[in-house]
Copies of this chain bind each other. A is one copy, B any other.
Amino acid sequence: MSATRAPAAQLVLTALPGIPLVQAGDDLAALILAGLERAGLALTTNDVIAVAQKVVSKAEGRCLRLADVTPSARADALAALTQKDPRLVEVVLSEAKEVLRACPNTLIVEHRLGFVCANAGVDRSNVAPHGAGLDEFVLLLPVDPDDTCRGLRERLRAATGAEVGVIINDSHGRAWRNGTVGVALGAAGFPALQDMRGHPDLFDYALQITQIGLADELAAAASLLMGQADEGRPVIHIRGVPYALREGSAAELIRRKEMDLFR
């Protein structure tokens, strides 16, 4: 794992213009390539593309009609405790390994992919209507975000020849701090966790911080530019990441349960 620093000292994030509302079955790689062209950007090795979780989920058809969901007894009980829709709770449970906290208005779980988040990332906002009431639909997280990133990376390489990193970002709440921040749900071609062990500091003293959550830092920056209230900016092109890309996945960012002091 190399931590070679490129000389560039500028990080430039550009929201690709004109990305249309995404529908189930849409070809995200094609939408990204068209957006790059619209922005006048030629992909270069070491660039990173960040894609909003929401459009990945939509392209994968992860939209679910609540009317089609029958809550289990467990979902009913948790819904009463959390004051949430039992059908929504049922969907959350279907995406969760474990419930960490449940109290009024709050349901925090370990998602089947390993990360901890509210409602297993199941979202009722910005879900495209299909001719029915808006609150009838929910959107689940992508099936395998790391795999989707690998696929997009392959497609972008095939089309442009550039070796790029790809991340899928979402916004998560955190322990101890107010406000959500962007985190990487998926990553490919990218040191999601950048190992700094063995790197001396300016005075040749071993660094105390040994691993940087690089994909999460990039996801936070991309999330800031995407905003929350619209989908007009679901794809961000990032140039100037001062670390060499490598194979990698967002799974690197998941702290093993037995190593976690704050469950």
Q: Which residues of A contact B (CB under 8 A)?
A: 3, 5, 9-15, 17, 21, 101, 103, 106, 108, 115-116, 123-129, 134-135, 171, 174-183, 192-194, 196, 199-209, 211-214, 216-218, 220-221, 223-225, 227-231, 233, 240-242, 252-255, 260-263
Instruction: Check B179 against A202 for contact (C-beta < 8 Å).
Output: no
Q: Say whether, besides A10-B14, A14-B9, A179 and B194 are in contact (CB < 8 Å).
A: yes
Answer whether A207 and B229 are a contact pair too, CB < 8 Å, given A214-B224, A218-B224, A220-B220: yes
What is the minimal beta-carbon distance from A13 to any residue of chain B, in angstroms?
Answer: 4
Protomer copies: 2
> Which residues does chain B contribute within 8 Å of A206, judged by CB atoms?
125
**28 A-B pairs, CB-CB below 8 angstroms?**
A3-B229, A5-B229, A9-B225, A9-B233, A11-B13, A11-B221, A11-B225, A101-B262, A116-B176, A123-B208, A124-B208, A171-B209, A171-B212, A174-B174, A174-B175, A175-B176, A175-B260, A177-B183, A178-B252, A178-B254, A179-B212, A181-B220, A199-B228, A200-B229, A201-B228, A216-B220, A217-B224, A262-B262
Q: Which residues of B contact A263 (CB under 8 A)?
A: 176
Given contacts A127-B203, A241-B224, contact A179 B12 (CB under 8 A): no
Would A201 and B126 be within 8 Å (CB), given that A108-B261, A178-B213, A224-B241 are in contact? yes
Q: How far is the CA of A173 from the CA of B14 in the complex (A)?
A: 28
Q: Which residues of B contact A225 (CB under 8 A)?
A: 9-11, 240, 242
Alpha-carbon distance between A128 and B205 when the two chains are bound, in angstroms: 10
Chain B min CB distance to A107 (Å): 11
Contact A205 B174 (CB under 8 A): no
- A228 proximity list for chain B (CB < 8 A): 196, 199, 201, 207, 209, 212
B115 A205 Cβ-Cβ under 8 A: no
- How far, in whole Å, are A201 and B14 apart by their CA atoms in the complex? 22
Please state if B5 and A9 are interface contacts (CB–CB under 8 Å): no
Q: Contacts of A224 on B, CB cut-off 8 Å?
A: 11, 212, 214, 217-218, 221, 241-242
Of the candidates B200, B213, B214, B223, the one whose C-beta lies within 8 Å of that of A177 is: B213
